[in-house]
Structure 1
């Protein structure tokens, strides 16, 4: 969307229409004319609001990732009265919800398929979406470390590790369409609980005895 303009109802229609087309026909298969027709607006309206197909795609990506945040707009719930286990489990559920209740799986497939030819698509997907989520989660882990609820020297590394424990089972088999693997994988509840336990086995503060290295 052109700088300085607020998103309107027609913008939302355009972005929703664009998303359907991009997911179905990939980047090169979509034009501003097709987006306008699918959204029920004129091509001039699309051009006036966004200026180019690339801008439409970038704004669509931002709009897609905005669904990750909760009602209070926070990417990660990390309250003072929560245990580390509560925080980890809540975040894992957010990853699961985002994968199951949005177009995250087909969107990730689109990014994987287009990123070699159009590297900026993968960069945009990370910069406006996954990157801020990782940073917010790492910031939450920083808080847990400062308050003695975790022991961890590199919270960014730890954040990526935990996300990997969850997404290796709940996201990537679906993205890569590994039907045989998804058919036999453990339940989401088991994946999340084992991820939490594995993470805490490494990063929970030692209750007694000499401190182990972080």
Structure 2
């Protein structure tokens, strides 16, 4: 063994020994092959550490399953689109709630609307989709899901909408595959109407 190899060998041994030293009071726990493995000063022996690790694993799995389809202004959005129009507004709410207690999404301004459309077009199964938002239209006023009023550019509305009718309280968006097609935009319909899905704000 030459001198350089000898020095490297000694450095490796010293490094391994240093790695094995665990500071006082330190405890690292991990589940390996279904068994709890602990290194350091681990005093808990009541099963709470196993329960904590299992819960942490479940939380991480759930978080991974709820990855955003897209983000805007630090908000997370996930869209659910079905081939048939079978989602009423109460279904839309349930779908979003199952995603980390989400809610049908708001559209906050014209820039947000224009940003959203290309993302939704990627999800169109045929030529167009109709998809619920969380917004409402009441007393000739557009409202956020929180109930607060919002003013938005008239160009986001489908031609001849909104319609002033007491029953047309909820706001879906109709999106065509062709961005230049005139007949698309926000509409107001009764919550019992069925559409292709919902966009959730999580």
Same fold flag (TM > 0.5): no
- Which has the larger strand fraction? 2
Q: Which has the larger radius of gyration?
A: 2
- Which has the larger helix fraction? 1
Higher relative contact order (CA closer than 8 Å, sequence separation 6+): 2
TM-score scaled by length of structure 2: 0.28
